């Protein structure tokens, strides 16, 4: 199926962009914003909002149309295709296949100070009615919080004999999350631990494709909950134990 963005009418290609340029909010700034939008492929771009955010820097909102179509049948699905299981299903799966608790360790590592994502997955209360892993029978969950250095994360994982490592990354300026995620994989390989754990990354900018490229088993993006992560991890652990 071929699709285009929808704005005022179906398939009109209307889109909205926002960006900051090192210019002032004047006529020259408008021309610069329009020219950039044209180079990005927008047809008839219009600056609908501009605001100085600092001396010599202006924030723009631009409307325009894109002439391109996307063929959805040719696209690759980046999501993990695993069976949807409930909390009770996952607990039963653990009880049938393991004679011990499974150990999950999670953290926002590196300089990342955001904990909303990892808390939603790990903490007992969870998020939006989806209970976190601390509430799961058969799972021992450790949430180390934010700004956890990769070295500390690896040491703790070894200490508690972790089965699954969950890494949340929200801060993405200058691809710092990419560098941090790669560094963790390198540490685990240096400690000869990588093969012994299921390694999962999560965050608003994380896709399964990106995570796997960086050496992770899987990546979970927005609108994923504890049961999604747990179902994937438990099934992978069962496969490893066969």
pLDDT tens string 84-115: 799 999 999 999 999 999 999 999 999 888 99
Nearest-angstrom CA–CA distance, 187 and 156: 13
pLDDT band at 163 (very low <50, low <70, confident <90, very high): very high
Strand, helix or coil at 80? Answer: coil
Handedness of CA 116, 16, 74, 211 (dihedral sign): negative
What is the model's pLDDT at position 77?
65
Q: Is the pLDDT of residue 123 over 90?
A: yes
Helix (H, G, I), strand (E, B) or coil at 55: coil
DSSP 8-state code for residue 195: G
The proportion of the chain whose per-residue pLDDT surpasses 70, expressed as a percent, equals 97
Residues with a known catalytic role = 125
- Side-chain-side CA neighbours of 16 within 13 Å: the count stands at 7
pLDDT above 90 as % of the chain: 81
Distance (Å, rounded) from C-alpha 58 to C-alpha 39? 19
76 — pLDDT class (breaks 50, 70, 90): confident
- CB count within 10 Å of CB 51 equals 11
Residue spans of alpha helices (H) in the chain: 27-39, 87-97, 116-122, 150-160, 176-190, 208-213, 226-241
* Check whether domain 87-241 has CATH 3.20.20.70, yes or no: no
Strands 164-168 and 198-202 come out as parallel
Q: 223 near 142, Cβ under 8 Å?
A: no
H/E segment holding residue 185: helix 176-190
What backbone torsions phi and psi does residue 240 show, to the nearest 5 degrees?
-65, -30
| Strand, coil or helix: 213 | helix
Q: What is the mean pLDDT of the chain?
A: 93
Q: Which of 153, 159, 4, 1 is nearest to 69 (CA)?
A: 4
CATH, domain range 2-70: 3.30.30.60
> Domain spans of the chain?
2-70, 87-241
| Amino acid 222: pLDDT | 87
Q: Which two tokens stand for residue 218?
A: 């899987």
Name, in order, each residue with C-beta under 8 angstroms of 26's C-beta and a sequence gap of 6 or more.
none
Q: What is the pTM of this model?
A: 0.77
Q: Where are the alpha helices (DSSP H) in 161-225?
A: 176-190, 208-213
């Amino acid at each position: 199926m071929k699709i285009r963005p929808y704005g005022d009418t179906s398939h009109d290609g209307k889109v909205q962009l926002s960006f900051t340029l090192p210019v002032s909010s004047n006529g020259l700034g408008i021309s610069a914003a329009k020219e950039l939008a044209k180079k990005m492929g927008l047809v008839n771009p219009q600056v609908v909002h501009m605001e100085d955010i600092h001396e010599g820097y202006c924030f723009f909102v631009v409307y325009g149309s894109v002439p391109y179509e996307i063929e959805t049948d040719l696209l690759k699905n980046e999501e993990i295709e695993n069976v949807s299981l409930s909390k009770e299903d996952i607990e039963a799966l653990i009880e049938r296949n393991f004679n011990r608790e499974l150990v999950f360790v999670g953290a926002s590592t590196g300089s990342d100070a955001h904990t909303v994502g990892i808390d939603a997955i790990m903490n007992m209360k969870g998020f939006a009615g989806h209970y976190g892993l601390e509430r799961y029978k058969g799972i021992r969950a450790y949430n180390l919080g934010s700004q956890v250095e990769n070295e500390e994360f690896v040491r703790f994982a070894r200490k508690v004999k972790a089965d699954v490592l969950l890494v949340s990354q929200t801060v993405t300026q200058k691809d710092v999350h990419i560098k941090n995620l790669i560094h963790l994989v390198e540490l685990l390989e240096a400690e000869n631990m990588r093969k012994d754990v299921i390694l999962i990354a999560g965050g608003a900018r994380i896709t399964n494709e990106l995570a796997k490229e960086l050496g992770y088993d899987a990546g979970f993006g927005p609108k994923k909950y504890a049961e999604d992560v747990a179902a994937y991890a438990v099934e992978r652990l069962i496969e490893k134990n066969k």
